[in-house]
A = this chain, B = another copy of it.
Amino acid sequence: MAGKDLKDLLIHQLKDTYYAENAILKALPKLAEAAKADELKGAFGLHVPETQKHVEHLKQVFKLVGERAEGTEFPAIEGIISEGEEAMQEFGGSSALAAALIGSAQAVEHYEIVRYGTMLAWAKQLGLGEVEALLNETLVEEENTDEILSELAEDSINAQAA
């Protein structure tokens, strides 16, 4: 234990995030299916190939740090996704469904944003330039998705739900 260092922590977090991205990839089609609003359906649909790219980025990062790409089951993302599914059920058929879906999707995005942000700082500290660049590219896209969802909510979805 005492011999563990920041690189071990980065690998620990990579496995968490790899698991999370794959869990999100499974959850996205359900979100897209539940979304009635075309714009929201589109936003969720668009995030599928992006998430696939993020998984590829992680595979490259695993290679760069000399580790096999593998996920470890972590409870946080499962909890966040299951809360989303629960809200989908509770607000299904109501005017607030789309707002609930956006809220759930943004909780997922923020989980990714914080994880990538932390890993990015660790990669920087470790002088892993290529890893840093890959993680940063993903982080920027996650932040962008979060921004798109906020705009969608504030421009139309929340008003329709009120």
Residues of A near any B CB (own CB < 8 A): 1-9, 12-13, 16, 74-80, 82-83, 87, 90-96, 99-100, 102-103, 106-107, 109-111, 113-115, 117-118, 121-122, 125-126, 150, 153-154, 158-159, 161-162
Is B9 within 8 A of A96, CB to CB?
A: yes
A100: chain B residues within 8 A (beta carbon): 9, 12
Is B114 within 8 A of A5, CB to CB?
A: no
Given contacts A76-B79, A99-B6, is CB(A121)–CB(B150) below 8 Å? Answer: yes
Q: Once the chains are docked, how many angstroms separate the CA of A107 from the CA of B13? A: 12
Is A3 within 8 A of B159, CB to CB?
A: no
Q: Identify 11 new A-B residue pairs, CB closer than 8 A, beyond the known A9-B103, A12-B91, A125-B162.
A: A2-B93, A4-B95, A9-B91, A9-B100, A74-B83, A77-B79, A78-B79, A80-B111, A122-B158, A125-B159, A125-B161
